[in-house]
């Protein structure tokens, strides 16, 4: 593993010279400037150790070796790998993209395969997997932190090992022991990678329409036939085999989601010893990549159309229980996608701040700040500062939200089913909010990062527009924002009768009261913020009750209220995290009045940023609350003939996958 570093300077051209060309006609690496990346270890450690007490949490779970120093060593090693091996491929990978070859294989950009091999050799794929399957047995939360570091360095590259983690967790909980020994162990070493195959050409969010079918071969295996689309990492050259986790229907299965089963379908079939023969080729593939998508962003992540034609696979778990099992994968993916929002926020901030410190334009309204220069640095202008502080405030509370959830998720793989169920219930309330709120704001922060550059942010030379393009997918895959909102309000609150919501609100009110009555609150003016968190936590519950009451007479209210309610929930959750962070910062300042200047500046910046959140961002919560309780009439009552029906889709719309139709 790699030693910790704070920052690195990489000569990308020299780095590429050491790598073999994937093909003679490969596109050259981008000559454009790249947004710098340094892992924010100090910020991460603050949340883990001083806000959430991760050391105490790990000790309670029995991880006695996971001291703050040891966790910092692990994170520092991941950081060095990210900064040295993955971040330098960010812009070049975007410029080169993935290539679909004539033999239906896919080539990833130069350097990707070599970085993945080094990642696998370092044992990183198995960090949180039980030792009996070749892993290191660390808690899941460390894997989430690992994902943040790698994802911020290069989100597209991180998707390949990230999807494998979803497959690993699914197999850990639902696969047979034979399946675990054959497939899980290879996923853990990184020799094989994994995917999630849900979406079909005519079936996206509504998985009840899944038409891929599986027929029993009579020998314990099944023949799977159908087409899956938008499959990230469905085909690539980084691992020798790919394990597809596939939703399909058995003959005679019930209609809708109750008739879906889950199957394991490998790209290449291993022999009886669970190994590949070494003779794998395009001629003996079990699954075929029909093509890859030409996308707006995440261009170096292969998004594939996968053809299954009598592809041999094996049932995972019980028949017709596939959707419940797949939710293990989906929850992992949704937490990871929530992290994507934070990753793009952090990237945007790291790209925007140096520009604002260096770029000179106009004079401050209050008088010259750089009198010896022709103009003042733009960091002095209020609107620029507001943009930067928005990114900073949302990044930091987003990180705290995800780390808080990650510590709760450490029970997901517990041997005790009751512990797992409790974990699922607690996470269920938070997952849709984090996934949707953080990704929506990840896009907003990416835009603000471009904005401070002015016109320079719109061109490729400065690297900011790539962050925006890469971020845009995050509100779409793993369930759109609207779907997450319906899940939150419909399933996690209404069907749950508000039990988990009530528990969380009670927790926040209690903690706000404890902080608000402390000496720290008095010393650092936190009492008003604590009172506001308590008040909004109460309104969180009462607002949901008003929506439910209205839905009794008009069911459209749930659909019209859901997204506004979710965003309202996000701003409340962000305020709760900021109150805890401000309290931790104030406590540190009070405990050590003689701390050095750098530490004092760090903690004082937490208090400043938190005040900005409460003053400038949290007020949006009240507008969202009010919008969520409006009647849906202005949305739903407009007749269809009032819309511009002369606008039509192109005649070939929807035919993108017509070229592959398995028998």
Residue of higher predicted confidence among 254 and 653:
254
- Domain formed by 329-479, architecture: Up-down Bundle (1.20)
Q: Hey, is 606 helix, strand or coil?
A: helix
Average pLDDT over residues 385-397: 98
Q: What's the DSSP call for residue 123? A: T
Phi and psi at residue 241, to the nearest 5°: -150, 155
331 closest CA partner among 413, 260, 255: 413
Share of the chain above pLDDT 70, in %: 92
Q: Are 585 and 601 in contact (CB under 8 A)?
A: no
CA-derived radius of gyration, the chain = 25
Q: Which CATH class name applies to 2-326?
A: mainly beta
Least confident of 260-274, 330-344, 373-387: 330-344
Question: Does the pLDDT at position 660 exceed 70?
Answer: no
pLDDT at position 642: 84
pLDDT at position 415: 79
Q: What is the mean pLDDT of the chain?
A: 91
Q: Are 10 and 84 in contact (CB under 8 A)?
A: yes
Hey, where are the domains in the chain?
Answer: 2-326, 329-479, 499-636
Least confident of 146-160, 211-225, 462-476, 649-663: 649-663
pLDDT, one tens digit per residue, over 595-636 is 999 999 999 999 999 999 999 999 999 999 999 999 999 999
Q: 319: which 2 tokens?
A: 């028949």
Share of the chain above pLDDT 90, in %: 84
Which positions ≥6 away from 43 have C-beta within 8 Å?
396, 399
pLDDT at position 655: 53
* Catalytically annotated residue among 478, 511, 532, 556: 478
Residue with tokens 């091999």: 117
pLDDT at position 1: 33
pLDDT at position 22: 38
Residues 344, 391: Cα–Cα separation, whole Å: 10
pLDDT at position 659: 46
Q: Are 207 and 323 in contact (CB under 8 A)?
A: yes
DSSP for 249-278, written as a single string? E-TTPPSGGGGEEEEEEESS---TTS---S
End-to-end CA distance of the chain: 48
pLDDT at position 32: 56
Q: Hey, is 248 helix, strand or coil?
A: strand
pLDDT at position 418: 87
DSSP for 471-508, written as a single string? HHGGGTTTS-HHHHHHIIIIIIIITTTTHHHHHHHHHH
Question: Does the pLDDT at position 577 exceed 80?
Answer: yes
Q: 119: which 2 tokens?
A: 């990642």
**Confidence class for position 652, pLDDT limits 50, 70, 90:** low
Question: Does the pLDDT at position 425 exceed 60?
Answer: yes
Residue with tokens 């305020």: 575
Classify residue 177 by burial, with Cβ atoms within 10 Å: 0-12, 13-18, 19+.
exposed
Average pLDDT over residues 160-177: 94
Known catalytic residue at 478: yes
User: How many CB atoms neighbour CB 207 within 10 A?
Assistant: 17
pLDDT at position 207: 87
**Confidence class for position 357, pLDDT limits 50, 70, 90:** very high
Residues 594, 662: Cα–Cα separation, whole Å: 72
pLDDT at position 423: 85
Phi and psi at residue 248, to the nearest 5°: -155, 170
pLDDT at position 126: 96
H or E element, residue 192: strand 192-197
Phi and psi at residue 56, to the nearest 5°: -65, -40
Residue with tokens 């925007």: 352
User: How many CB atoms neighbour CB 80 within 10 A?
Assistant: 19
């Amino acid at each position: 593993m790699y030693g910790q570093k704070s920052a690195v300077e990489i000569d990308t051209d020299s780095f590429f010279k050491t790598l073999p060309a994937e093909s003679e006609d490969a596109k050259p690496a981008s000559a454009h400037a790249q947004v710098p990346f340094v892992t924010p270890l100090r910020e991460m450690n603050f949340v883990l150790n001083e806000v959430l007490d991760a050391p105490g949490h790990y000790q309670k779970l029995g991880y006695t070796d996971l001291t703050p120093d040891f966790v910092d060593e692990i994170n520092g090693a991941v950081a060095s790998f990210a900064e040295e091996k993955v971040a330098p491929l960010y812009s070049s990978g975007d410029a080169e993209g993935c290539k679909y070859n004539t033999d239906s294989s896919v080539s990833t950009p130069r350097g990707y395969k070599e970085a993945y091999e080094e990642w696998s050799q370092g044992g990183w794929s198995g960090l949180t997997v039980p030792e009996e399957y070749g892993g290191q047995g660390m808690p899941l939360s460390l894997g989430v932190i690992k994902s943040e570091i790698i994802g911020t360095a290069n989100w597209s590259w991180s998707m390949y090992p990230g999807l494998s983690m979803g497959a690993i967790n699914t197999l850990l909980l639902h696969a047979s022991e034979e399946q675990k020994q054959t497939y899980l162990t290879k996923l853990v070493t990184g020799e094989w990678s994994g995917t999630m195959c849900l979406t079909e050409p005519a079936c996206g969010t509504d998985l009840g329409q899944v038409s891929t079918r599986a027929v029993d071969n009579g020998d314990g295996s099944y023949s799977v036939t159908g087409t899956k689309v938008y499959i990230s990492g469905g085909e690539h050259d980084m691992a020798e085999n790919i394990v597809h986790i596939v939703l399909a229907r058995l003959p005679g299965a019930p209609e809708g989601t109750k008739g879906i089963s889950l199957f394991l379908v490998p790209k290449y079939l291993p022999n009886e010893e669970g190994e590949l023969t070494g003779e794998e080729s395009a001629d003996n593939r079990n699954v075929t990549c029909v093509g890859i998508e030409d996308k707006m962003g995440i261009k170096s992540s292969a998004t594939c159309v996968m053809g299954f034609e009598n592809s041999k696979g094996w049932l995972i778990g019980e028949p017709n229980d596939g959707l419940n099992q797949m939710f293990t994968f989906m929850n992992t993916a949704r937490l990871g996608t929530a992290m994507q929002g934070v990753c793009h926020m952090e990237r945007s901030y790291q790209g925007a701040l140096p520009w604002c410190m260096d770029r000179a334009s106009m004079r401050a309204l209050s008088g010259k700040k750089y009198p010896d220069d022709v103009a003042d640095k733009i960091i002095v202008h209020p609107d620029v500062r507001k943009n930067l502080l928005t990114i900073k405030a949302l990044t930091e509370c987003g990180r705290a939200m995800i780390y808080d959830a990650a510590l709760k998720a450490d029970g997901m793989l517990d041997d005790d089913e009751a512990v797992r169920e409790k974990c699922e219930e607690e996470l269920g309330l938070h997952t849709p909010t984090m996934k949707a709120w953080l990704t929506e704001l990840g896009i907003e922060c990416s835009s603000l990062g471009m904005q401070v550059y002015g016109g320079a942010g719109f061109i490729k030379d400065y690297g900011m527009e790539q962050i925006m393009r890469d971020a845009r997918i995050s509100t779409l895959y793993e369930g759109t924002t609207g779907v997450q909102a319906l899940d939150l309000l419909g399933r996690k609150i209404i069907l749950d009768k508000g039990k988990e919501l009530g528990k969380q609100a009670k927790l926040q009110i209690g903690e706000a009261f404890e902080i608000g009555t402390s000496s720290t609150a008095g010393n650092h003016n936190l009492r008003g913020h604590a009172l506001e968190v308590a008040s909004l936590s109460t309104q969180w519950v009462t607002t949901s009750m008003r929506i439910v009451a209205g839905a009794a007479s008009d069911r459209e209210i749930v659909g019209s209220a859901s997204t506004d309610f979710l965003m309202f929930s996000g701003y409340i959750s962000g305020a709760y995290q900021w109150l805890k962070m401000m309290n931790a910062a104030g406590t540190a300042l009070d405990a050590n009045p003689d701390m050095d200047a750098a530490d004092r500046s760090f903690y004082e910046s937490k208090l400043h940023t938190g005040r900005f959140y409460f003053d400038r961002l949290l007020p949006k919560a009240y507008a969202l609350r009010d919008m969520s309780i409006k009647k849906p009439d202005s949305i739903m009552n407009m007749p269809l003939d009032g819309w511009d029906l002369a606008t039509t889709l192109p005649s070939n719309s929807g035919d993108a996958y017509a070229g592959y139709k398995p028998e």
